[in-house]
Amino acid sequence: MAERVGLSLRTVRYYEEAGLLTTAGRTPGGFRLYGDEAVDRLLVIKKMKSLGFTLEEMRSLLSVRDELSDPKISDARRAELRELLRTWVVLAEEKLATLRQQAGVAEDFVIGLHGDADRSA
């Protein structure tokens, strides 16, 4: 599973130890077993990590997603959770804007270095 999502086994274990992921059990040989939902969860974690979210923020969003997937929650609670999810959308958009700005600065820097290299040749 770690290979499917592009993470090391150690990273998957770290996320499990941090409470972001649970196993579906273990094989008789002691290997961890994960359900299909673990792949989706790890992909969300991986994306949040790349955007700079903290472990606590990841826990919070995953908790909202988990609760939203429960068909037994009330309509009122579902509306509250959807509003929380909208807040997460705004946070992710802000982080994306910051990354785009940083990418622009990096691109300008690389262009400048190319210019320096061309002038010194």
- Does pTM top 0.85 for this prediction? no
Position 22 confidence tier, pLDDT thresholds 50, 70, 90: confident
pLDDT at 1 over 80: no
As a residue count, the chain comes to 121
What's the rounded mean pLDDT across residues 53-63?
96
Cα–Cα distance, 19 to 17 (Å, whole number)? 5
3-state secondary structure 4-33: HHCCCHHHHHHHHHCCCCCCCEECCCCCEE
Nearest alpha-carbon partner for 21 in 53, 47, 44: 44
| Total domain count, the chain | 1
- 79 Cα distance to chain centroid: 23
Residue 98 structure tokens: 């910051």
Q: Residue 45: which domain range?
A: 2-119
117 vs 76, higher pLDDT: 76
> Which CATH number fits the domain that encloses residue 61?
1.10.1660.10
Find out whether 1 and 39 touch, Cβ atoms under 8 Å: yes
Position 30 confidence tier, pLDDT thresholds 50, 70, 90: confident
